[in-house]
Chain A
């Protein structure tokens, strides 16, 4: 399924809903979405991942890109990450750049 995003900014929190498959071709676009947020004074970026079915190596690198682009002061929270994606994030050390939460945020 084609990759789509929907961004919503409220105060110092931005949330991006990710839908579809984030592969190497989509990663470039997603990095562009992240880059657009650098103008905002954010403290938190929430990625809503429930409808993201696949995240490739390049997609995972977007997390580090976001972490570096937005700065250490911006917390990146992944909500509703599918288990296979979450596992890959953990095993390759990309979890160091993000906080993972379940959909209820508990």
Chain B
């Protein structure tokens, strides 16, 4: 006998009938709607509701086909759970009517006239087509649906890449392949992204950070384009409707209710290509906005539990978007944890970047906590143990925690200091060189003891200028957003190189291209985790818009055509990423201390116009560092010099122990294609003692053993 046949479960038979449906008291756990033998188990909780009704819809029909009030036998404390038999999960949609007081001054906003979505719904129906507005007569526009949670993973496991080995690529699922030039069969979808995996492989990145993919309503934006009069979208989607639901219109199969399968397939295919998946998650606020906003889910289930409220019942607005999720309430904390566990365990996601994460460290009255329970819980959760946790360590309420975010030796941070310093250094500001040196070696002043991977380094991100625009505009140009250019950050540390915006001037264009390469090369040789913004590798522009959250159109999507993308820059970035991969010395996990550790050279040494003589004075605009590590029998040595001065400088190179000699990997003063070599095929320097660095240029050398054949 090879197995045992288990007896049939004894809890699979109905015990009563409600509204014509066979039911039995359900299981409170897990929360949400779960397929069970013969039916669906519905479980929903609220600490302040007084009653609960399950509304069942047939997909495509406006009105519910049945409403089943939960009897007392289906209630355990604040949890209502019922198994309903004989449902077809593929055509079923559902929601809840919640009884309770409407007393805003006490924080309660129950409204049994409305049907609200299940916060645990793994599918949200009703918005399968991008850009389609909800019907005005739809009593329930965001419809929960039941997902089949089985999937053939074929042995897929999270990749568990070392944090310091990551090269992150931040992308928007729709914008990445929506452009007609993308050549994908299903542009703007998870499936379209799968078609572009070869591109990502060739680029060399090993982690994609997806801007929000939780269900959101792009049509919630009420602004219009001031010139065209067209309604603007919430294109980015930092406005969650369903925390457990992948966005249906990001899936070509969303119309079949298979967005979860398509998402999982995307993760599986990316993993197969050696690429991790990090999700940009928004827990600081929801799409329900303030007291004027729509009631979608949490407000109707238990307003005062889920939201931070003022003493008179209004919404605190630390997110800048109307409401603030009450993250350190024990119930909300558990909800966030359930959500992340779901994405990690069920969907094999490798990590999370938390939008406005400083909010997650605020108490229920908004004050910052020294030991925030939510952040601690996430840091020590066993399900999330291998997940990367990355904080955007500030919020819109003025809390700025870069370098001081409660980290529990687990959290990394978007290093805003790195972004600001590298921008200022590259554009030639005075007095930034020593700070740039600190950023270059992983910001030990901020992250000493936490390791270099605590610092996610970036020059640009979705929020702000693109790299091309950073060196094409002095000022933001956000008029197209419909707010008379009032929105978006005014502090950009950008420089237009002599002309504001588009130009044909070859000198201006050449300088812009060089500054972009300088920033990229410094980023990709810095200690810490580099993050690239999708499109920066081909010179994508947003026409000076530094807050393009609502710009959904061909002018803003990634243009894949040869004429719309800078192929020279793309080659440069590919090679720079490959160079980082080839040189472990650039991505050590520990901060460099300047000691030799028994080797022939210090692990980091600083230089200037004269070797071993850095100039840290305020007027210096030259940074030169030599990194060295012994990698088994191999010497791994890289010299990076960055000159943000507008004149060339002659540099004395540090002498290398024989038989090492210098090879030139990149020199941004050179015209493409001579600006960068292929990693491993760098030309030897004719003069091993001196080298000229061009004006506003970055130079990267590597040392190799030189045999007599190569003399």
Is B252 a contact of A57 with CB atoms below 8 Å? no
Which residues of B146-187 have CB atoms within 8 Å of chain A's CB atoms?
148, 150, 152, 154, 186
Residues in A neighbouring B567, C-beta threshold 8 A: none
Is A97 a contact of B152 with CB atoms below 8 Å? yes
Known: A24-B88, A93-B264. A57 touches B258 (CB 8 A): yes
Is A88 a contact of B253 with CB atoms below 8 Å? yes
Please classify the interface of chain A as helix (H, G, I), strand (E, B), loop, or mixed, using the class held by over half of its residues: helix
Question: Is B704 an interface residue when CB atoms closer than 8 A count as contact?
Answer: no
Question: Is B401 an interface residue when CB atoms closer than 8 A count as contact?
Answer: no
Question: Is B261 an interface residue when CB atoms closer than 8 A count as contact?
Answer: yes
Which residues of B258-310 have CB atoms within 8 Å of chain A's CB atoms?
258, 261-262, 264-265, 268-269
Is B152 a contact of A57 with CB atoms below 8 Å? no
Residue of A nearest to B267 (CB): A93
B87 CB to closest chain A CB, in angstroms?
Answer: 10
Question: Is A91 an interface residue when CB atoms closer than 8 A count as contact?
Answer: yes
Q: Which of B191, B256, B269 contacts A57 (CB 8 A)?
A: B256
Residue of B nearest to A84 (CB): B256
Question: Is A106 an interface residue when CB atoms closer than 8 A count as contact?
Answer: no
Q: Which of B148, B152, B252 contacts A91 (CB 8 A)?
A: B252
Which residues of A26-59 have CB atoms within 8 Å of chain B's CB atoms?
56-58
Question: Is A94 an interface residue when CB atoms closer than 8 A count as contact?
Answer: yes
Question: Is A8 an interface residue when CB atoms closer than 8 A count as contact?
Answer: no
Is B152 a contact of A64 with CB atoms below 8 Å? yes
Residue of A nearest to B153 (CB): A93
Is B88 a contact of A94 with CB atoms below 8 Å? no
Residues in A neighbouring B251, C-beta threshold 8 A: 91
Using C-beta atoms within 8 Å of the partner chain, give the interface range for chain A.
10 to 19
Is A93 a contact of B90 with CB atoms below 8 Å? no
18 example contacts (A-B, Cβ-Cβ < 8 A) are as follows A24-B88, A24-B90, A56-B256, A57-B257, A58-B89, A58-B90, A60-B258, A61-B148, A64-B150, A67-B152, A68-B152, A91-B191, A91-B252, A91-B262, A92-B261, A92-B262, A93-B268, A94-B261
Is A93 a contact of B265 with CB atoms below 8 Å? yes
A54 CB to closest chain B CB, in angstroms?
Answer: 10
Docked pose: A61 CA to B262 CA in angstroms:
13
Docked pose: A67 CA to B88 CA in angstroms:
24
Using C-beta atoms within 8 Å of the partner chain, give the interface range for chain B.
20 to 34
Is B90 a contact of A92 with CB atoms below 8 Å? no
Which residues of B116-156 have CB atoms within 8 Å of chain A's CB atoms?
148, 150, 152, 154
Docked pose: A87 CA to B192 CA in angstroms:
13
Residues in B neighbouring A64, C-beta threshold 8 A: 150, 152
Docked pose: A71 CA to B602 CA in angstroms:
58
Known: A23-B90, A25-B88, A57-B256. A92 touches B265 (CB 8 A): yes
Residues in A neighbouring B186, C-beta threshold 8 A: 91
User: Number of A-B pairs whose CB atoms are under 8 Å?
Assistant: 56
Residues in B neighbouring A87, C-beta threshold 8 A: 252
Residue of B nearest to A58 (CB): B90
Q: Assuming A60-B258, A88-B256, what are 19 further A-B pairs, CB within 8 angstroms?
A: A24-B88, A24-B89, A24-B91, A57-B261, A58-B90, A60-B261, A61-B148, A68-B152, A88-B258, A91-B191, A91-B251, A91-B258, A91-B262, A92-B258, A92-B261, A92-B265, A93-B152, A93-B268, A96-B152
Which residues of A47-106 have CB atoms within 8 Å of chain B's CB atoms?
56-58, 60-61, 64, 67-68, 87-88, 91-94, 96-97
B596 CB to closest chain A CB, in angstroms?
Answer: 51
A66 CB to closest chain B CB, in angstroms?
Answer: 11
Residues in B neighbouring A60, C-beta threshold 8 A: 258, 261
Docked pose: A58 CA to B148 CA in angstroms:
8
Residue of B nearest to A97 (CB): B152
Is B258 a contact of A93 with CB atoms below 8 Å? no
B265 CB to closest chain A CB, in angstroms?
Answer: 3
Residues in A neighbouring B189, C-beta threshold 8 A: 91
Is A91 a contact of B90 with CB atoms below 8 Å? no
Residues in A neighbouring B253, C-beta threshold 8 A: 88, 91-92
Docked pose: A57 CA to B146 CA in angstroms:
12
Residue of A nearest to B90 (CB): A24
Residues in B neighbouring A91, C-beta threshold 8 A: 186, 189, 191, 251-253, 258, 262, 265
Known: A58-B148, A61-B150. A93 touches B89 (CB 8 A): no
Docked pose: A56 CA to B91 CA in angstroms:
10
Most chain B beta-carbon neighbours within 10 Å: one of A67, A91, A94, A97 = A91
Most chain A beta-carbon neighbours within 10 Å: one of B264, B265, B268 = B265
A75 CB to closest chain B CB, in angstroms?
Answer: 16
A38 CB to closest chain B CB, in angstroms?
Answer: 14
Most chain A beta-carbon neighbours within 10 Å: one of B152, B186, B252 = B152
Residues in B neighbouring A92, C-beta threshold 8 A: 253, 258, 261-262, 265
Docked pose: A93 CA to B152 CA in angstroms:
8
B593 CB to closest chain A CB, in angstroms?
Answer: 47
Residues in B neighbouring A25, C-beta threshold 8 A: 88
B655 CB to closest chain A CB, in angstroms?
Answer: 56
Docked pose: A25 CA to B38 CA in angstroms:
11
Which residues of B594-619 have CB atoms within 8 Å of chain A's CB atoms?
none
Docked pose: A23 CA to B257 CA in angstroms:
13
